[in-house]
Structure 1
Amino acid sequence: MTSIEEIKLLIYRNKLRLAQELRQSKEAVFLIKKATHTNLSPVEKEKIKIQLLDICKAIPALAVFLLPGGALLLPLLIKLIPDILPSAFKDDLPNDKKQA
């Protein structure tokens, strides 16, 4: 596989991961709105908790990426602290296995 094909594959995978993260965020916003009117089930509360943790994980990763040289530093940081990535960007997704 050439490096251009690898880059295309990585961009495609990250596009799918970003779309999944946006869907999860949209669902979390819906559940938060719902919580203003009714009580949430334990499953719904857990979904909100997971999504809010993902958002909290994405902010430091974005901040590192925006630093000068952050594009080089972020992959190293991810190797050292693998839990910094939101759940949609972890490698054990079924979508990646289907597309690869």
Structure 2
Amino acid sequence: MTSLEEIKLLLIRNKQRLALELRQSKEAVFLIKKATHSNLSEEEKEKIKVQLLDICKAVPSLAVFLLPGGALLLPLLIKLIPDILPSAFQDDLPNDKKQA
């Protein structure tokens, strides 16, 4: 596989991961709105908790990326601290758990 094909594959995969993360965020916003007028189930509370943790993980990653040389530093940081990525971007999760 040429490097151009590898780059295209990575871009497609990350596009899909970003779309998944956005869908999860949209669901979390819906659940937060629902919580203002009714009680949430334990499963719904857990979904909100996971999504808020993902958002908290994304902010430091973005800050590192915006630093001078951050595009080079972020991949190194991810290798050292793999939990810094939001759940949709973690490769070690099973596919059925990612879809939830």
TM-score between both structures, scaled by the size of structure 2: 0.92
> Structure 2, unaligned stretches of length 5 or more?
none
Supply the RMSD in Å over aligned alpha carbons: 1.1
Q: Percent identity?
A: 84
- Whole-angstrom CA distance in 1 between matches of 2:40 and 2:28: 12
Within a 5 Å distance, the mapping from 1:1-100 to structure 2 comes to 1-92=1-92, 94=95
- Whole-angstrom CA distance in 2 between matches of 1:30 and 1:56: 18
Find runs of 4+ consecutive structure 1 residues off by over 2 angstroms: 92-95
> Structure 1, unaligned stretches of length 5 or more?
96-100
Q: Any idea what the Cα deviations from partners look like across 1:6-62, whole Å, max 9, x if unmatched? A: 000000000000000000000000000000000000000000000000000000000
1:98 match: none
Which amino acid is the alignment partner of residue 57 of structure 1? K
Q: Any idea what the Cα deviations from partners look like across 1:53-99, whole Å, max 9, x if unmatched? A: 0000000000000000000000000000000000000113529xxxx
- Whole-angstrom CA distance in 1 between matches of 2:39 and 2:53: 21
- Whole-angstrom CA distance in 1 between matches of 2:14 and 2:29: 22
- Whole-angstrom CA distance in 2 between matches of 1:88 and 1:62: 15
